[in-house]
Amino acid sequence: MASPANSVPDTQLGLTNDEIALLRHHQQAAASTAAGSSSSRAASRASSQGLLLLDPASLASLGRHFDRLMQQIQARLDYLSEQSAMVAQQQYDRAGNLIQTADSEIARFHDILRQIDELELDFDRIRHIRDIVRSYRARVEEMEQQLEHSGSSSRHRHRHHHGESSGSSSRRHRR
């Protein structure tokens, strides 16, 4: 059993409760990695009693355990940092593509608006021309009707006076 001279209570190391729990867990883990040696059994017993063994072999084993653990954590951090950078780059690329796509769609939209403006202008011009053509057509039809009306009334008068003397009818034609 560990003697008070070569151990210290883990509660006196200035650690938080979470850190004490981690220390005890990793003392057990380090002891199980070095299973079989008397120092590993002593470290395991000390851990379960809330003590940190101060002998060089136990401290060296615990130190190696923490070094390996820190290397694993560092490797995981490096991996996650690399993954994070990849995700950030992918998002940046997607955002760039979205911006490029949005710019392209905005340009397309502006082109459509320009075409609409041109068509509306053409529509107004064509409507104006159509209205002028309709106006002339209406005038021409009116003139044709007047001519028909005047022609039919002169024919009507001509037929009506046909039975009169030729002298009177010639006066009518001269008018």
**How many alpha carbons lie under 13 Å from residue 38 in its C-beta half-sphere?**
4
Question: What's the confidence (pLDDT) of residue 174?
Answer: 44
| Closest C-alpha among 67, 58, 3 to residue 34 | 58
Long-range contacts, 102-107 (Cβ 8 Å, 24+):
none
Angle between helices 17-33 and 38-48 (to 10 degrees): 160
Mean pLDDT in runs of 10 for the chain (175 residues)?
Answer: 68 90 87 69 79 84 92 97 96 93 95 97 96 95 92 63 47 43
Distance CA 137, CA 6 (A): 121
